[in-house]
Amino acid sequence: MNTHHGTHGNIGHSRAGASDIALAQLLELDAEVLAPYLTELTGWLADLARPAPVRILDLGSGPGTGSLALAHRFGSAAVTAVDISPQMLHRLHKQAAVHGVAERISTLEANLDEPWTETGEAGSYDLMWAAAFLHHVADPARTLAQAFENLRPGGLLAVSEMDFFPRFLPEDTGIGRPGLEVRLHAATNTLPPHEWTDQLQDAGFTVEERRPFEIRLDRTQAGPALNDYAQICLAKLRSHATDVLDADDLAAWDALLDQTQPHSITRRGDLGVRTTRTTWIARRP
């Protein structure tokens, strides 16, 4: 496992570089817009994780929105954020300083597909967090086995996944035929949501909860980052739609994504967010 403790470092050794920076921006906007959900989720976790966790491991932390939320929720915990991307960890360091929790968050640059030799002694974590991560690893069963090994008996693993890409637009956008976003999702979201219950049990965990969070936020609840978040998400979906939508729908999408147009996603006042995220709470017996 390639590791780097305590500092972002290693910025020159890049696996993906620019795409990681773009993903970090998207994940930060995601956390800003969905802050009410993240607050509810960590509050729920605080009810289940008693006594309050002291050592927390954030698996595939990205830019650390989960690490920050956990550091705020559990005021005396030390959080270790692990990610393969130095760009993500660099961003996390900056954000931890901005949030005033830098002394309680350390980073570990590591490939979690390899044996976890640097995460510390076996059985030493009280809580692990794996948000939008488990589906990235080569062998989830092996990753879950290592998570199990690194948790103390009684410790919790929280696994969270996005069931489907967020939706933002009203049925009739004023551009093209109504129902455009529904058609885009139907054409591009073709895989079923991730399901981890069996694999968690196979790894030895007791699955205590499996909770889908139905997120419905209007523009006031979502806050000022909503339009930028929607623009980035919908541009990403559009990039998968070229061969699956007809020419009229593609032209309508391009008009919506054109920031110079009055109806564009970045200028609209009628956006909201609708999505579902599922969280599993698994305990090491």
Ligand X SMILES: C[S@@+](CC[C@H](N)C(=O)[O-])C[C@H]1O[C@@H](n2cnc3c(N)ncnc32)[C@H](O)[C@@H]1O
Decide if residue 88 touches ligand X (CB under 6 A). yes
Q: Which is nearer to ligand X, 88 or 245 (CB)?
A: 88
Choose, by CB under 6 A, the member of 38, 41, 49, 137 that binds ligand X: 137
**Which amino acid is located at 213 in the chain?**
F
**From CA 196, how far away is CA 119, in angstroms rounded?**
23
C-beta of residue 52 within 8 angstroms of C-beta of residue 76: yes
**From CA 68, how far away is CA 104, in angstroms rounded?**
10
Nearest distance, CB of residue 65 and ligand X, angstroms: 5
Q: Which is nearer to ligand X, 128 or 252 (CB)?
A: 128
Decide if residue 32 touches ligand X (CB under 6 A). no
Q: Which is nearer to ligand X, 164 or 255 (CB)?
A: 164
Q: Residue written as tokens 């915990």?
A: 77
Phi, psi of 164 (to 5 degrees): -150, 160
Choose, by CB under 6 A, the member of 111, 188, 197, 264 that binds ligand X: 111
Nearest to 270 by CA among 216, 226, 215: 226
Nearest distance, CB of residue 263 and ligand X, angstroms: 30
Nearest distance, CB of residue 237 and ligand X, angstroms: 15
Stretch that binds ligand X, among 106-114, 205-213, 218-226, 272-280 (CB under 6 A): 106-114
Nearest to 268 by CA among 279, 252, 257, 283: 257
Nearest distance, CB of residue 40 and ligand X, angstroms: 16
C-beta of residue 110 within 8 angstroms of C-beta of residue 2: yes
Q: Which is nearer to ligand X, 61 or 106 (CB)?
A: 61
Stretch that binds ligand X, among 118-126, 130-138, 175-183, 242-250 (CB under 6 A): 130-138
Decide if residue 83 touches ligand X (CB under 6 A). yes
Stretch that binds ligand X, among 44-52, 82-90, 183-191, 261-269 (CB under 6 A): 82-90
Q: Residue 195: how many CB atoms within 10 A of its CB?
A: 12
**From CA 55, how far away is CA 76, in angstroms rounded?**
9
Strands (E), the chain: 55-59, 78-83, 105-109, 125-131, 151-162, 206-217, 273-283
Choose, by CB under 6 A, the member of 66, 86, 140, 155 that binds ligand X: 66
Decide if residue 60 touches ligand X (CB under 6 A). yes
Which residues contact ligand X by CB under 6 A? 27, 60-62, 65-66, 83-85, 88, 111-113, 131-133, 136-137
